[in-house]
Structure 1
Amino acid sequence: MTESPSPLADPHLVFDPAPAEGPRDIVVLGSTGSIGTQAIDLVLRNPDRFRVTALSAAGGRVALLAEQAHRLRVRTVAVAREDVVPALREALAAQYGPGEPLPEILAGPDAATEIAGRGDCHTVLNGITGSIGLAPTLAALEAGRTLALANKESLIVGGPIVKRIAKPGQIIPVDSEHAALFQALAAGTRADVRKLVVTASGGPFRGRTKADLANVTVEDALAHPTWAMGPVITINSATLVNKGLEVIEAHLLYDIPFDRIEVVVHPQSYVHSMVEFVDGSSLLQATPPDMRGPIAIGLGWPERIPDAAPAFDWTQASSWEFYPLDNDAFPSVGLARHVGELAGTAPAVFNAANEECVDAFLKGALPFNGIMETVTRVVHEHGTPGTGTSLTVADVLEAETWARARARELTTKDQAAAEARA
């Protein structure tokens, strides 16, 4: 039976909501985070190609947000925390000269969603971390914007909702793995694809057994060998939860069954993912570890941005290694496949429980192995969801609320038991 094409990412299609001469207008969500700051670096180096019209951030780095707003001359700045608005106004005033008009300020939990849904841009880059990025993702799609998606969680927890709204070619993936698959898939048709191979660096604990991981510290887990990322994403890389999420994301983006999506450990992080075709050929996308390349694909497709990121020096010898995944030490990928196949609200439960457990680990309230042990308990207690393709935002929010509460409850009980034993 011929499988229908995905309505999401397709390198052969270009969704162009506002073709025009001059720079492409961009909205950056999560501008003070890792993705946002690198995107802004790319924009500032290519003023003839891109112009940022609005920024959003959580509110923890108002000085940086104000500096970005001034350098980019944006019209609007959005911040999730209303309590930081006075400090933001002060920081903006310090950046702007006398008589210069300050940008509009939006504040509150829905501020990012509001600027994502406005009709005054070509592309929305969603660089927010966590499932709070779902509402801005939906707003950008409903407004008819091209969505450069770095916020994988919004697709994972709201997959059926996103797929109902997105038009062909409207989403361009910004994760390095999915940007790699996106580019490799351009070499053939979907019917030519045998499997997708998602690469993993292995994180800071590659080669360690489950017993070895029992007493690792927060500092150990945050010491990623190849990528500089925020704390939540870095811990997800250490547990390989991020790779489980990427398997679900690849399934949703490209409609490839889970049994045709593999994970392989590649410590150098040079090869970002591969596509194996039915004739036995494998096409891979490779660059030195640098997120500006995938960001440039997200912002500029179908054009490539010269010198967006470093290239290899092929005159120098190098070794590229590939290893099978240790599913015993890192059960997160297998669990992610399970919740992905369950669909409905199961991925939202998995993601929300993980976010709570990562927070507990960072606070010293949960051991490293306890992250996946607790997430697994929450997922199994949740059982089989029944929402299927009729999933709604309300379903997602209800499932997330339950999963977060249950994860916190289990974490508190486990911590109390550990303290009692001590």
Structure 2
Amino acid sequence: MRRRVVILGSTGSIGTQALDVIKRNPSWFEVVGLSAGTNRTMLDEQAAEFEVEHTALGADEAEQLVRDVEADVVLNGITGSVGLGPTLAALRAGRTLALANKESLIVGGDLVKSLAAPGQIVPVDSEHSAIAQALRSGTAREVRRLVLTASGGPFRGRSRGQLAGVTPAEALAHPTWDMGPVVTTNSATLVNKGLEVIEAHLLFDVGYEHIDVVVHPQSVVHSMVEFIDGSTIAQASPPDMRLPISLGLFWPNRVSAVGVPIDWTTPHSWTFEPLDTAAFPAVDLAKQVGRAGSTYPAVFNAANEQAVAAFHAGAIGFLGIVDTIQRVVEAHEQDGPLTRESLAAAEVWARAAADALIAG
């Protein structure tokens, strides 16, 4: 059955690759809605190419688009917590949510989970797509541990002291993936991996004590599931986001000829290393934030966005990013039930608190 797809964030990295998957498979997909952040020109060009009548600009219009357009799948490729509204709208409308906007699940937490039917959220992050695929090898009771792989970013192997003087240009030189500036910087600090640990907990209902991160520089094994009998199931493929995107759009089915498989006729060497938590404390901090729940993940994410912007503006050093997040999180006090209003207020507070620390 041909699936009607709405793509949110269509002009970004995830959105453009999704459109490439759809262009290659017109018999399986029909694009019925597109949204972008600010790039109206590119959005109009995409709408013309794919003959899409319904478009939106900005998160508020994207949320309305999801409510108004009949679709089977909503791919949320928006960057940042502004994607929460469209995520909630997609779930309320009963759409399958192909989720690349991890922040909306992490920030929304129980608000998002309370709306989601079993199987309604399909992860698009390569790590969580890998876990979802591996989990089909056993039952929930048979899972012992989730193992998320991390490339280690451009600063793998450096000590904390060696990270003090790195530049924004160096932080954007990711060795494996081609991503936007915020996600690429988050990969350099490993904040992104910390967010993915929270996302894995929320998606798969596995406790934080059973979620590990291992550094795998080749980025071929995208994540693993360890089962109670000692078996570990890994999903491996050359780095190409079109594969998890295609699964998000067509889950649980696979789309043919999306990516290039591993060439088993040539030698390969894959390595795995423990995470240096002293140099990269973001993952441990994220686990603390995830356990605290409520508005703490929203504070973590908002403080990070402010700190990343300050780093690229030259206002703080690289180490100042996670240091700022930690100080803001430690100063936060949750008050009242979790609602969209309390989340918004917590984010406003966190941004102001981070800005004050940065201004120093």
- Quickly name the TM-score band, shorter chain normalised: over 0.9
Partners in 1 of 2:68 and 2:318 — Cα distance? Answer: 41
Matches within 5 A, 1:16-31: 21=1, 23-31=2-10
What is residue 230 of structure 2 aligned with on the other side?
280
> Is 1:35 paired with 2:14?
yes
Q: In structure 2, which of residues 119, 128, 147 is the aligned counterpart of residue 169 of structure 1?
A: 119
1:135-146, aligned counterparts within 5 Å? 135-146=85-96
Pairing partner for 1:269 from 211, 215, 219: 219
Query: Equivalent of 1:289, from 239, 256, 268?
Result: 239
Q: Per-residue deviation at 1:117? A: 2.0
User: Are positions 1:333 and 2:280 aligned together?
Assistant: no
Query: 1:66-81 residue pairs with structure 2 within 5 A?
Result: 66-80=44-58
Aligned match of 2:67: 117
Q: How does 1:11-410 map to 2 (within 5 A)?
A: 21=1, 23-59=2-38, 61-80=39-58, 109-383=59-333, 385=334, 387=336, 390-410=337-357
CA–CA distance in structure 1, aligned partners of residues 28 and 312 of structure 2: 40
In structure 1, distance between residues paired with 2:358 and 2:335: 27
SS of the aligned residue for 2:159 comes to coil
CA distance in 1, matches of 2:65, 2:21: 21
Shift of the 321–24 alpha-carbon distance from structure 1 to 2, 3 Å rule, reads same
CA drift of 1:62 comes to 2.9
Give the gaps of 5 or more residues in structure 1: 1-20, 81-108, 414-422
SS of the equivalent of 1:378 reads helix
Compute the displacement of 1:63 (Å): 2.8
**What CA distance in whole angstroms lies between the structure 2 residues aligned with 1:154 and 1:115?**
17
3-state SS of 2:277 partner? coil
Amino acid at match of 2:52: V
State whether residues 13 and 179 of structure 2, in contact with CA within 8 Å, keep that contact through their aligned partners in structure 1: yes
Q: Verify the 8 A CA contact 2:153 2:188 in the aligned structure 1.
A: yes
Aligned residues of 2:54 and 2:69 also touching (Cα < 8 A): no
Does the residue aligned with 2:35 lie in a helix, a strand or coil?
strand
> Quick one: distance in 2 between partners of 1:128 and 1:362?
21
Any conservation in 1 of the 2:306–2:355 contact (CA below 8 Å)?
yes
Distance apart, 1:27 and its partner CA: 0.2
Task: Please give the secondary structure, in 2, of the residue aligned with 1:227.
Answer: coil
Instruction: Judge conservation of contact 1:119–1:143 (CA < 8 Å) in 2.
Output: no
State the secondary structure of the residue aligned to 2:200. helix
- Structure 2 gap ranges (5+): none
Paired AA for residue 355 in structure 2: R
CA deviation string 1:102-135 (max 9, x = no partner): xxxxxxx410101122351100000000000000
Percent of counterpart pairs with the same letter? 59
- Equivalences, count: 360
In structure 2, the residue corresponding to 1:53 is in which secondary structure? strand
One-letter amino acid matched to 2:345? E
What amino acid maps onto 1:397 in structure 2? A
User: What residue identity is the alignment partner of 2:272?
Assistant: F
Higher Cα Rg, which structure:
1
Checking the alignment, whether the CA contact within 8 Å between 1:118 and 1:143 is kept in structure 2 is: no
Corresponding letter in the other structure for 1:351? N
Distance in 1, matches of 2:218 and 2:66, equals 35
The alpha-carbon deviation at position 412 of structure 1 amounts to: 1.1
Contact preservation (8 Å) 1:29, 1:112: yes
CA RMSD of aligned residues (A): 0.9
Deviation at 1:386, TM superposition (A): 5.2
Whole-Å separation in 1 of the counterparts to 2:74 and 2:53: 15
